[in-house]
Amino acid sequence: MATNDRFDHFSTETVREDQILRSIASASSGQRGVQVGPGDDAAVLFPVESPLVVSVDQCIEGLHFLPGTPLKDVGVKAVRRAAGDLAAMAAAPVALVATALLPKSMSHREALLLYEAIQLEAQNLNCPLVGGDTSIQQRESDSGLHLTVTVIGTATRPVLRSGAKVGDRVCVTGPLGGSFASGRHLFPPVRIAEALQLRAQLGDDLHAMIDISDGLGKDAMAVASSSNVRFMLEASLIPCHPCSGWEDAIKDGEDHELLFVIGECADCSNLPFHVSEIGKVIAGHPGVMVSNGEGHQIDVSKEGWNHGA
C-alpha cells in the first residue's frame, strides 16, 4: 500500500504515539455514528437503539502471521479477524478500537503504514477506527508485533450458538481449508453482509451461527455443545478450496466463512449468494461426526487449529 501524503514527512525516527494519533485523527473526522473520534481520552459514539455487540481479537506475530509479513497485510487481517465475530452474530458494524505492541526495531514510517492499513480496512467495512493505544517493546529480544482489535456492532436479535435444534440443517457460506498454505489467511472474507441477509430473509429460522476461525471441527463443536445437540456432516458436501480436502476443512483455521444452522423447512433459494448444506442436527451427546461416504462415521469434535489465543 502506498503511503498517504500526510505520512511523507516522517522518516525512520523512533515511533511517536502522539504523531500517529494526530495522523489517524486527521483522517477520522466526520465518521458515521462517531461524535468524538481519535484524539481525546476516549471516543464518543452516538447512542443506538439496538443492543450492542462487542468482541475483541488478537493478531500476534509468529502465531497468526509469519515474521516479515507486509505490515499492510497484517493490518487488514487484524481488522477482518475481529469483524468476523460481528458477522457471526449478524451484527451491523458501528466502530472499532485498535491497540498495538510494536517491536523496538519498528520505524515510525512502518508504524504509520500499519495504522493506515487498519484505518482504511475499517473504513471499507463501515466500522471506523475511533481510538486505541500504542506501546513499544523495550528490548529487541521481546516478542514480535501484537495487535488487538475490539469491534462494536448492533443487532436487534443477535444470532447465538445455542439455538440449534434436532432436525435442523447445517450450512456454510463458502469453501474451506488450506488458508495458511495458500496465504488466504491474510485476507479472510468478512461475511457481515451475508449474515445480515440471512437474518433478514430467514428470521427466526436462522437458529445458530459461528465464524469458522478454528476449523470446521472445533467450531461446529462449539455450536453443538452450546445447543446440546449432535452434528452429522457429510464429507462429500463440504465445499473445499482447490488443493484442499474435507480433512483440511475440518482441521485448518482462519477460513472465516460462516457455519449456520437453519430450520428444517427454511428456504435459502432466494439468497444473493451461494449456500452449501453440509449436514443435519441429530439427537445425542454433543459432538460432531463426519460420514466419509464409505460407511464410516468419524468423530471430529476435537479436530481444529489450536492457536493458543
Find the CATH number of the domain harbouring 239. 3.90.650.10
Asked if residue 282 is part of any domain, the answer here is: yes
**What confidence category does residue 308 fall into, taking pLDDT thresholds of 50, 70 and 90?**
low
Cell of 266: 427454511
Asked if residue 92 is part of any domain, the answer here is: yes
Burial class (CB in 10 A: 0-12, 13-18, 19+), 70: middle
In which domain, by residue range, is 244 found? 169-299
pLDDT tens-digit series, residues 28-65: 555 667 777 777 778 888 888 899 999 999 999 999 99
Q: What is the DSSP letter of 186?
A: G
What gap in Å lies between CA 230 and CA 10, rounded to an integer? 56
Find the CATH number of the domain harbouring 88. 3.30.1330.10
**Do 173 and 142 share a structural domain?**
no
**Do 145 and 25 share a structural domain?**
yes
pLDDT tens-digit series, residues 92-111: 999 999 999 999 889 888 99
**Do 188 and 120 share a structural domain?**
no
Query: Which of 103, 131, 154 marks a domain boundary?
Result: 154
Q: How far is CA 241 from CA 106, 184, 291, in A?
A: 35, 10, 20
Query: Torsion angle of alpha carbons 188, 189, 191, 192, nearest 10°?
Result: 80
**What confidence category does residue 132 fall into, taking pLDDT thresholds of 50, 70 and 90?**
confident
**Do 201 and 142 share a structural domain?**
no
Percent of the chain with pLDDT over 90: 74
Asked if residue 30 is part of any domain, the answer here is: yes
What gap in Å lies between CA 89 and CA 84, rounded to an integer? 9
pLDDT tens-digit series, residues 58-82: 999 999 999 999 999 999 999 999 9
**Do 36 and 130 share a structural domain?**
yes
Which tops the pLDDT comparison, 4 or 274?
274
**Do 223 and 111 share a structural domain?**
no
Which tops the pLDDT comparison, 250 or 13?
250
**Do 295 and 174 share a structural domain?**
yes
Res. 10: pLDDT tops 80: no
List the beta bridge partners of residue 27.
none
Cell of 300: 471430529
* Residues 295, 301, 162: CA angle, nearest 5 degrees: 115
**Do 179 and 143 share a structural domain?**
no
pLDDT tens-digit series, residues 204-226: 999 999 999 999 999 999 999 99
Asked if residue 257 is part of any domain, the answer here is: yes
Tell me if 102 sits within 8 A of 136, measured CB to CB.
yes
What gap in Å lies between CA 127 and CA 160, rounded to an integer? 21
pLDDT computed for residue 15 by the predictor: 58
Instruction: Please state the domain count of the chain.
Output: 2
pLDDT computed for residue 12 by the predictor: 41
Identify the H or E element spanning 187.
none
**Do 137 and 46 share a structural domain?**
yes
**Do 220 and 105 share a structural domain?**
no
pLDDT computed for residue 21 by the predictor: 61
Strands 287-291 and 230-234: parallel
**Do 76 and 26 share a structural domain?**
yes
Asked if residue 185 is part of any domain, the answer here is: yes
Asked if residue 125 is part of any domain, the answer here is: yes
pTM of the model: 0.88
Query: Which of 154, 189, 221 marks a domain boundary?
Result: 154
Tell me if 207 sits within 8 A of 165, measured CB to CB.
yes
**What confidence category does residue 2 fall into, taking pLDDT thresholds of 50, 70 and 90?**
very low
What gap in Å lies between CA 195 and CA 4, rounded to an integer? 33
**What confidence category does residue 20 fall into, taking pLDDT thresholds of 50, 70 and 90?**
low
Res. 183: pLDDT tops 80: yes
Res. 5: pLDDT tops 60: no
Asked if residue 220 is part of any domain, the answer here is: yes
Tell me if 78 sits within 8 A of 118, measured CB to CB.
yes
Asked if residue 4 is part of any domain, the answer here is: no
**Do 194 and 103 share a structural domain?**
no
